Structures are given as structure tokens and as C-alpha cells.
Structure 1
Amino acid sequence: MNPNMFIKLVIDLIMTVSMLVAMAYPITGNMVHELVGVVLFVLFMVHNFLNRRWYKTIFSGKYKVQQILSIAVNLLFLLTIAAALISAVPISRDILPFIPMNNEMIVRQIHVLSAYWGFILMAVHIGISWGRIINAARKMTGIITTSRVRTIAFRFLAVLIVVYGVQISFERDMGSRLLIYNPFGYWGFDETALRFVIDYLSIMGIYICGTHYTLKYLQKHEKAKA
């Protein structure tokens, strides 16, 4: 595998894990949350630097469905993560406690709102690149042949993840987290780290699978028209 591609994949994986840890604020506590936020900021800057050539492609080439979606999602993801990181500065209690704060609740709402939208857009972003991620994983593991049984098994697993993800989205009231209204939403007192990881990975699975298979359908539709 190309070393640059490997580095990008590792950074993206660490960013995804860091995002999940950052979302688990009631479990990790404020200090860990803020430290992970600093890590996310650094990784975010590195990620954009390594992918700086992508910005040149925005105004070039043919605007097919995947390119239009990729541009829109990436720019929105950039804005939401930037909003989450910027709004985190004035409400910091441990790393930057000396910054004066007015209208703290409004800033917290903006922080939570942008963080959750960033989480959803991150999943869509992964879904857009899922084909490349799978191909890279195959090269790393040495799997070069296709298997109908393996394909069916993974698709069945994807269906289970999506079904559970939809159910847990309602249980956790994800809709209100994506609105200014009641941004903190549900958090069970018996919450465990394992339950949190399973639930949020399943929610990510909805958008990863939905984006990936929607793009596959559109690409086949475009080829059929050509």
C-alpha cells in the first residue's frame, strides 16, 4: 500500500475514535473531553494538510453525483467541526479556564449542535470513501478474491447494524440533538462505555451504509444511461 495512503487511513481512524471519545462526555469527564478536543484539532489540521490537493479539485472536472455530494459533505463537515472547535474555547473549564464567558448556554448549544452534525457528516464522509477504505483493507490483509458467502454475510451484518442504529437513534433522541431545542438529550444513568460505543457505531452505520449503497445505485444508473 502507498505509505501516504496508509498514513491518511491511520489518521482518519484515530480521528474517528477521538470523535467517539469526545461524544462520550458524561463517561469520560470534562478534562478528558477537552484533551481529546485538542487532539482532534491537531488531527483535523493534519488531515486537511495531507488532503490539501482535494481543494483544487472543487472547481475542476465533471460534476458527477459523487463529486457533488463529496464537495458538499466535506465543506459542511469542515464548517461544523470548525464551529465545534471554536465554540469549545470560551466554554473550556480545565485547559482554558481564564477566558471570560458571556451567554455560556448559547455557546454550549452551538458546541453540542455542531458536534452532533459533525458526527453525522463524518459518517457520511466515511460512506463516500467506503469503497476505497474496503479496497485498502483488502490490500493490507491480502484478500484479493471475492466471495459470495462473505459478501452476503457482510450485507446481512450491515442490515442488522442499520436496524439497531435506527432504533437506538429514537431511544437516544438524536433528532433533538441535531436541533437547538434540548441539545443534551438522553443519557441513561446506567450508561457504560461498551454500550455507548456499540450504539454510536450503529448510528454511524446508518449513514455509512446509506451513503455507500446510494452511491453504488446512482453509479450503476449512470452507467446504464451511458
Structure 2
Amino acid sequence: MPISAKIRMPLDIAMTVATLVLMGGNGLFYSAFDGAVDSGLVHEVLGVVLFVLWAVHVVLNRAWVKAVLKGKYNALRIVRTIINAGVIVCVLFLMVSGVMLSTHVFAWLGIESGASFARNAHMLASHWYLVFVSLHIGLHLSLFIRGRVATGITFALAAYGIYAFAARGLWKYLTLQQPFFFLDLERGYLLFALDYIAIMALFAMAMSLAMKAMVYNSR
């Protein structure tokens, strides 16, 4: 088995975990460690790590990148391309805005202007990133979810994800109607993680079902 095939699964898992943790913003680290660590530094370092992991992911899937301008496009390929492009755009916006807002890792650059724009861009890109990543996972959901039990659990999570999406107010972040990120940890860390996992399951399952419908209709 090629080395690239061996690291794909651990890489995808690491990226998903990093995404979930980063969605908690600086407040998650501050609360988790009771202020004993610099939450901003941890968030920045983990953000850089995730960016590097995405770079590795793109390199491993460079065949797709090379084929973007080749061949014919059907409905499924168009959707797949839009989703992948959406992920890449969000990752780039997150990295650029993160560098502009950095007070630790990239503080040596001395960027002092555009903080307001960068803050809004970072919040907007982070939540659209969550959506596009979840849709991206949905494109390959059949590779990870097999059997009736696993499928049933995923459907249950997706159903709960509808409530979590509304309760966490993600639609406000996606439309910039929420001017700042509010982290509600009153229900605890486990429910925070469950809510965001369920939201990812919601979009992933929706994409998986839509993809099956497109494949069926193209026959």
C-alpha cells in the first residue's frame, strides 16, 4: 500500500478534530485551561497546523487539481468542484485574516491595519469553512459510514444537527448578522463538541443524499 494511502485516514481525522476545536475560538482554550495558558497563542498555532495539514491534503489529491480544466462536467462534477473550491477559498481567507489578526505567531510582521475587516472575514470564513468541509465529507461519506447501525447513528446525529444549527445560531454567522463570536459553554464541553459534530453530520448527510440522487437521475 502506498504511503499516501496509509496517511489519508489519520490526516482526515486530524483535520476534522482540529476544525472542531478551532470552531470554539480563543474562549474554548481559555475556559478549558482555566486561563492557565495563552488561549490566543494556542488558537494561532493550531490554525497554522490545520493550514499545513490542508496543504498536505491538497498535495495528496493533486491529481484532482490537475484535472479541473480537463474532461466534461456533469451536475455531480460541478457540485464537487464548487464544494472543493469553496473549501480552498475559505482556508485561504482564514489564513490571511488569521495572519492579519495574529498577536503571537505572526506578530513580527507588524500588521496594524485592517483588523476590523480581518476579524469579520475570519468569522465569516470560519463558519462557511465548516459548511463546505462538511459537504466535502458528504461527498465521501459512503467510505466511512457502512452498515445499518453506523447509518442510523449518522441519521440521528444529522437530525439533532438541525436543532444544534438553530440553537448555536450558525445562520447568523453565515450571513454576518452576528458581529462577534459567542461561545456558550454553559452546557459543557461535551455538548459543545456534540453540537458541532451533529451540524457537520447534517450537511454531510444532506450532501451524500443529494449526490446519490444526482447519480440516480443521471442513469
Q: Does the CA-based 8 Å contact 2:139-2:208 persist in structure 1?
A: yes
Determine the structure 2 residue equivalent to 1:94: 104
Letter in 1 for 2:170: M
Determine the structure 1 residue equivalent to 2:61: 51
Shift of 1:43: 0.8
Looking at structure 1, the residues matched to 18 and 48 of structure 2 have their Cα atoms a distance apart, in angstroms, of: 10
- Which of 99, 104, 109 matches 2:120? 109
Determine the structure 1 residue equivalent to 2:190: 194
Query: Is 1:71 aligned to residue 81 of structure 2?
Result: yes
Shift of 1:213: 1.1
Determine the structure 2 residue equivalent to 1:19: 19
Shift of 1:131: 2.3
Q: In 2 relative to 1, CA 78–163 (structure 1 residues): closer, same or farther, beyond 3 Å?
A: same
Shift of 1:40: 0.9
Query: Is 1:175 aligned to residue 171 of structure 2?
Result: yes
Determine the structure 1 residue equivalent to 2:33: none
Shift of 1:115: 1.0
TM-score (norm 2): 0.87
* Deviation by residue 1:17-50 (Cα, 9 ceiling, x = unmatched): 1111111121112221111011012111111111
* Deviation by residue 1:38-93 (Cα, 9 ceiling, x = unmatched): 10121111111111111122122331222111111111110111000111011112
Q: Does the CA-based 8 Å contact 1:27-1:192 persist in structure 2?
A: no
Q: In 2 relative to 1, CA 156–132 (structure 1 residues): closer, same or farther, beyond 3 Å?
A: closer
Q: In 2 relative to 1, CA 209–2 (structure 1 residues): closer, same or farther, beyond 3 Å?
A: farther
Give the alignment's Cα RMSD to 1 decimal: 1.9
Q: What is the number of residues matched between the two proteins? A: 208
Determine the structure 2 residue equivalent to 1:219: 215
* Deviation by residue 1:201-226 (Cα, 9 ceiling, x = unmatched): 00001111000011112212222xxx
Looking at structure 2, the residues matched to 64 and 115 of structure 1 have their Cα atoms a distance apart, in angstroms, of: 29
Query: Is 1:85 aligned to residue 101 of structure 2?
Result: no
Question: Runs of 4 or more off by more than 4 Å in structure 1?
Answer: none
Letter in 1 for 2:133: M
Letter in 1 for 2:8: K
Shift of 1:119: 1.0
Looking at structure 2, the residues matched to 183 and 161 of structure 1 have their Cα atoms a distance apart, in angstroms, of: 28
Shift of 1:116: 0.9
Shift of 1:133: 3.8
Q: In 2 relative to 1, CA 76–200 (structure 1 residues): closer, same or farther, beyond 3 Å?
A: same
Q: Does the CA-based 8 Å contact 2:185-2:192 persist in structure 1?
A: no
TM-score (norm 1): 0.84
Moved more, 101-110 or 171-180: 101-110
